[in-house]
Amino acid sequence: MKYSLFQVYWRGLAMGAADIVPGVSGGTIALITGIYDRFINSLTSIGHFETLRDLKCLNIKRFIARTDLFFLMTLFAGILTSVIGLASLITYLLVNYPHPLWAFFLGLILASSWVLFQDLKAQGPVTHLTYVFLIFGIALALILGRMTPQDFQVQHWHYFAGGAVAICAMILPGVSGSFLLLMLGLYGPVLAALKNFDVINLALFCGGCGIGLLSFSHLLSWCLRRYPQLSYGFLIGLMLGAIEKIWPWKIIISTRINSKGELVPFIQEAVMPWVFQQDTGTSANIAVSLFSFGLGLLCILFAGRLMKVDKI
């Protein structure tokens, strides 16, 4: 399905907003809004021999057509706009309204997983092996979600390496690049670099993202083309497995001292909202969170009707 550049741009805005939040993936938004296959195929085409030959011969028209360049440029413009413009807002919401924010993403992911699975079944009988890959995706996301953050002195080269690793997760639904940055101890430094417009470290991070994006997209595109049902089963599993990590209500089991001497959560346990309220003595914001959860569900209903998720 073809989209106008404006439609592509606001999908980029949504992807960028999701990538900022640890636990939510921009790849999830791409999958929900029906541009995932086109996004991966466009990235993969950049490194093809024919594409590089067109560029060498200055056949710009064919190069643009092969790479779907206007689509990619518009999408990345939306992502960058969102990341730069919403970094402070997302940070504010995470600090002041965490429960409604996480509840919104919970509704988004639950509903989108159901929609995508229904779309998968519509293509034909779902094999037993597909269910195995779905379960494997859930297990992998749970393992990644239970990793504990690292804390170390950040060097310049860490931004490049972190970008290469995180971008691979950012294009996978259910696996959050921001969360991996958090595990690597780079989430705070990268967010600070965005706020302060630290050109050197941002350039290193973007360079790592570029290398990781082009290399990993080839593998992902091959899997989607060769084994579409198994690949989508695995991707849906990743989305479902991320639910534990983004669950809005958690109690702190243990804490740690970070490199700045601040006391921060180390291990957290997901609990029901009334248990959270009883154990912490603070409001669980149940009513507002339920509204946010419902809003996330409605977004997917509109996505299914207006955006029409691409067929596998």
Alpha helices in the chain (DSSP H): 5-20, 26-32, 36-46, 49-56, 60-67, 69-96, 98-122, 128-145, 156-170, 177-184, 187-196, 199-226, 228-241, 243-246, 273-280, 286-302
Are the C-beta atoms of 272 and 189 separated by less than 8 Å? no
Q: Which residues contact 105 (CB under 8 A, 6 or more apart)?
A: 18, 21, 23, 24, 246, 296
What is the average pLDDT across 14-20?
78
Tell me: the pLDDT tens digits for 108-119?
778 878 877 887
Residue 3 falls in which region: left (phi positive, over 0), alpha (psi -120 to 50) or beta: beta
Q: How far apart are the C-alpha atoms of 195 and 215, rounded to whole Å? A: 28
Taking residues 50-79, report their average pLDDT. 80
Q: Is 271 helix (H, G, I), strand (E, B) or coil?
A: coil
Residue 132 confidence (pLDDT) = 95
Task: Please work out, in degrees rounded to the nearest 5, the angle formed at the alpha carbon of residue 311 by the alpha carbons of 48 and 105.
Answer: 95
Lowest average pLDDT, out of 128-132, 154-158, 170-174, 232-236, goes to 170-174
Global pTM value: 0.66
Q: Which of 8-12, 212-216, 273-277, 291-295 is predicted with the least confidence, judged by mean pLDDT?
A: 212-216
The helix or strand, by DSSP H or E, that contains position 265, with its residue range, turns out to be strand 263-270
Asked if the model's pLDDT at residue 312 lies above 60, the reply is no
pLDDT band at 176 (very low <50, low <70, confident <90, very high): low
Indicate whether 211 pLDDT > 80: yes
pLDDT of residue 310: 40
Biggest CA–CA distance in the chain, Å, is 68
CB 43 within 8 A of CB 217: yes
Distance of CA 228 to the CA centre of its chain: 20
Q: In whole angstroms, what is the distance from residue 95 CA to residue 270 CA? A: 18
How confident is the model over 254-268, as pLDDT tens digits?
A: 766 655 566 666 677
Q: If you average pLDDT over residues 71-87, what whole number do you get? A: 86
**Of 100-109, 230-239, 259-268, where does mean pLDDT reach its minimum?**
259-268
21-60: burial string, b at 16+ Cβ within 10 Å, e else:
bbbbbbbbbbbbbbbbbbbbbbbbbbeeeebeebeeeeee
State mean pLDDT over 25-41: 78
Judge whether 178 and 187 are in contact, CB under 8 Å: yes
Reply yes or no on whether the pLDDT at 134 is more than 50.
Answer: yes
Q: What is the mean pLDDT of residues 25-50?
A: 77
